[in-house]
Every structure is written in structure tokens, then in C-alpha cells.
Structure 1
């Protein structure tokens, strides 16, 4: 297993992982995922098996403010977020067949390393499908004052953690 930055050849595998991983939220179109990478490509990674298959991915991008974008929202104004001091972890997904290998933690550590090198102050995310317990173990704390749109589902939890340099 190796972790590498997302390149164009990875998108079909990423789409397959997304389809496998989500049962409670609607998978996002390719154009939405691509736009997230276009904001901050240095913090978007895949986990590739020894056979070359994409087993997991993470998309994290700079974001201004505490209200996350809606799922399936294409962000047109990339420049307004390119210097923000928050890294929004938009999506971390592991294929069902690859769960239990620690891939989520490996990808998060890659994002954390990237966040430190970019000098951002915090990482934020919306946990879905009960993933808030995983994120709590990574140091994230729930913030009930943030507004989350309905596209994230009924159990969505907005969370943040500081990036310690």
C-alpha cells in the first residue's frame, strides 16, 4: 500500500471507492470532486494497493469560514479560499473491501503533514455515517454552532481541530 497525491489517472478508482463507501449520502459527481482538488491539490491523496487499485482517498482543501460547502457543490471561486487558514477535509473514503487496514488514519496523517507545511491553523470537517467517533480519536471536537446543510444527512457532525506546528 502506498499513499500518493491524486493525479488524473486516479479518478475512476476514486469514483468506485466513493460508491462503495457511502450508503447514507448521495455520491458526488466527478466534477465536484475535481474542483475540491483544484483548490488545494497538495492535500488530496489516494491509497493504492500493491496491485494498483485505489483503496481509499482523501480530499482536503483550504476554506474560509466555519460553514462548510454543500455536498455536490462545485466551488467556482477558488481564489477566495486559496489563502484561507482552515483546511476543510471534504471527504475521506475507504472502499468496503479495504476497511480494517488503517488506511483512513494513513490518509489523515498525510493531510495533517500537508496542513502543517501549508501553515494552516485548523482542520475542519463534517463527519457522516457515524464517523465522528473516528474523528474524535484524531483530536477533533464537535462544534454545534456551525451550520451544516441538509445534504450531509441527519447524523452529520461539524468538527474542528487545531494544527499544531
Structure 2
């Protein structure tokens, strides 16, 4: 299951993975997901197994401390310093096989020139993210409040120039 770039043709399968992983209140609409893909197509990955798309990762260049509200629009800033991992989801059929870690590793390999990576940890994933080197940090509290209780902004330094 090597990660590859997502195509618009993958949208239905990505939405099916999202529906299998998140409660309805956390699911983003098809037009929001499509807009994310179109805004930064080089930072949206999927993993496939014999049954098709089994995981995805939406990321984009951002600024440290900026949090995209759940379901909110985003734009790539003129001078990004951070790779923001907006959403990682793995279908239950491949859970526990290291797919999320492979997606994140593949995405971080694309982060040339960016000094940080950041994300919002949801659904008790803090320990997973800490195992990848992310630590809790201060972020946009108003945007963070759009996520379910317990959501946590986390960051990781990618280079010594930070």
C-alpha cells in the first residue's frame, strides 16, 4: 500500500473512508473535500489495497499556529512555514497495518523548505501523533473550538532553522 496522489475520481471512495471513520458531525461535505483537493493537489494522498482507496491524508502549506476550522475553507498563504495535516483517515479494514504512518511519512518527505508540521488531534489520537514527534502547542483557539471536545493542536519541528 504505497501512498499516491489523490485524483478527483477518488472522491467517492475517500468520502466512504471518512464516513467509516468519523461521526456525522465531523464529516466534511463532498464540495469541501473537493475544494481541499483543488487548493493543494500535491499534498493530498491516498493509499489503496485490493478493494481500492483504504486511507487518505489531506495536507497543505500553512503558517504555524493557524488552525483550519472543521469544514472551513482554507487558502495557501504566500509565505508558508508549516505543513498542516488537516485530515488522516484509515478504513477499518486496514487499521493497525501502519497505513497512517506511511501516509504521514510520505507527506513529510514532500515538505521541503517548510520548518514545521502541525495538526489537530481528534478521537484520542494524541499518543499516535506523539509517537511521530508531535507535541501539544498553542493554536487558534476559536478555530480549535469547531472540533469536538478534546481536540488538541500539535506541532513538530521539521528543520533546525525553526
Same fold (TM over 0.5): yes
Where does residue 136 of structure 1 map in the other structure? 130
Shift of 1:146: 4.3
Shift of 1:42: 1.5
Of residues 147-156 and 55-64 in structure 1, the stretch that sits farther from structure 2 once superposed is 147-156
Shift of 1:149: 3.0
SS at 1:32's partner residue?
A: helix
Structure 2 residue runs of 5 or longer lacking an equivalent are none
Shift of 1:19: 0.4
Shift of 1:115: 0.8
Question: How far apart, CA to CA, are the structure 1 residues paired with 2:70 and 2:129?
Answer: 19
- The count of corresponding residues between Structure 1 and Structure 2 is 159
SS at 1:101's partner residue?
A: coil
Alignment check: 8 A CA contact 1:37 1:60 kept: no
Question: How far apart, CA to CA, are the structure 2 residues paired with 1:56 and 1:84?
Answer: 26
The runs of 4+ residues in structure 1 deviating greater than 6 Å are none
The TM-score, its normalising length taken from structure 2, stands at 0.89
CA change 1:132–1:24 in 2 (3 A) is: farther
Question: How far apart, CA to CA, are the structure 2 residues paired with 1:154 and 1:114?
Answer: 31
Question: How far apart, CA to CA, are the structure 2 residues paired with 1:90 and 1:145?
Answer: 14
Alignment check: 8 A CA contact 1:60 1:87 kept: yes
Where does residue 153 of structure 1 map in the other structure? 148
Where does residue 36 of structure 2 map in the other structure? 36
Alignment check: 8 A CA contact 2:65 2:138 kept: no
CA change 1:38–1:83 in 2 (3 A) is: farther
Where does residue 120 of structure 1 map in the other structure? 114
Aligned Cα RMSD in Å?
Answer: 1.8
